Structure 1
Amino acid sequence: MEYTLPLQTITDAWMKALKDSDSIQQYCKNHYGKAPVLINGGNPREAPDGDYCPYIVVMNGSKIEGADQSTLSYTIGVGWVVKNNNLTVDGKVVQNAYYPDAKEIQLTGAVECDELGQLIYETLQTFASDRDWPISRVDYDVTPSATYPQFMGTMVCITEITPSMGETLTY
């Protein structure tokens, strides 16, 4: 018997988990005044603009299956974007401007991007673990990009499944 699981099955389940996450919904409402826009599938050439922020994109990635595979591997990509042009300058929250005498400047959006990304990862890991197929590896990146005041993060999540004899793969 060859085991197979469509990537879209995992993507759809993760979309529901993100939608149902009280911590993600509350975080976005507290910081941006609205729930995040959830996007199933992504087109990097036509990314949504800042008006969509905050948003979370879940994308099919790749899979390794086959009769000669003792462990099956499923890769799903997740991206998120927040928009915030506030700074914390020497302990005070201000709008982005020119502060040449500052001792310390922190970009609020960069901090929030990482905070939201952590909530997304924790939500998906809990959801996947509850199905006995936890995320076995995540490559997580919140490296700044050239879209200021938008800040984006990405993660590539790999779930490995070792099927049992006679088991039907469901997610």
Structure 2
Amino acid sequence: MFSTIPITVFIRKWRDAIAGSAAISAFCMQKYSKPLSLYIGIDGKKPPADTNCPLVIVFPGGKVEGGGETECRYTGSIGWSIIQSHVAKQDGIIENTGLYEADELGQLLLATIAEINPSYPVSHVEYSFESNDFFPQFPGRMDITIQVPVRMGTQISY
């Protein structure tokens, strides 16, 4: 029998790390004067409203495991969104400041996930956020991969 980790182990650890992050909490209170809304999965027919921003959604993930694998791969996705309608104008430059805030929140989320288990670091991230279609909402998403080496006779854990 090969060793396996339920994908819900990752979801719970990511949930707890995000909920317990002082940096994320401080960011949300400083920028939006309200705490982060954290969702573990969502009802696609009734998604969170703009009033729920700033928000983070931890989506279910996937995994690759098996007796012939030399390493197991676990993937998960995190979405986030902020509301920022401020547009800065100076010297002919017009900037939607929400771009910077959305990226800052995304980077805080990534750093938080990366710190959970240094023995199994984040090995791959696909990261993007939207700046046009949803203004003044700035949604982002990252797909995260963590690789765990498999060693004969050991139980893997995260």
State if a TM-score over 0.5 links the two structures.
yes
5+ residue gaps, structure 2, are none
1:93 match: none
Cα distance in 2 for partners of 1:42, 1:161 equals 28
- Identity, in percent, stands at 30
1:77 and 1:155 in contact (8 A); partners too: yes
Deviations 1:14-52 (A, max 9, x none): 110011111000000000001101111134554211010
Larger Rg: 1
5+ residue gaps, structure 1, are 91-101
2:69 and 2:150 in contact (8 A); partners too: no
Q: CA, structure 1 residues 43+128, in 2 after alignment: closer, same or farther (shift >3 Å)?
A: farther
Deviations 1:92-119 (A, max 9, x none): xxxxxxxxxx711110111100011011
Cα distance in 1 for partners of 2:14, 2:44 equals 20
Which among 98, 102, 115 is matched to residue 104 of structure 2? 115
2:49 match: 49
Please report the RMSD computed on the Cα atoms of aligned residues, expressed in angstroms: 1.4
Q: How many residues align?
A: 158
Which among 142, 147, 151 is matched to residue 164 of structure 1? 151
1:80 match: 80
1:71 and 1:161 in contact (8 A); partners too: yes
Q: TM-score, normalised by structure 1?
A: 0.87
Where has structure 1 moved over 4 Å in runs of 4 or more?
A: none
Q: CA, structure 1 residues 145+165, in 2 after alignment: closer, same or farther (shift >3 Å)?
A: farther
1:66-145 aligned at under 5 Å gives the runs 66-90=66-90, 103-129=92-118, 132-145=119-132
Cα distance in 1 for partners of 2:131, 2:21 equals 26
Instruction: Give the residue type in structure 2 aligned to 1:139.
Output: E
Q: Which moved more, 1:152-161 or 1:120-129?
A: 120-129
2:70 and 2:151 in contact (8 A); partners too: no
2:55 and 2:82 in contact (8 A); partners too: yes
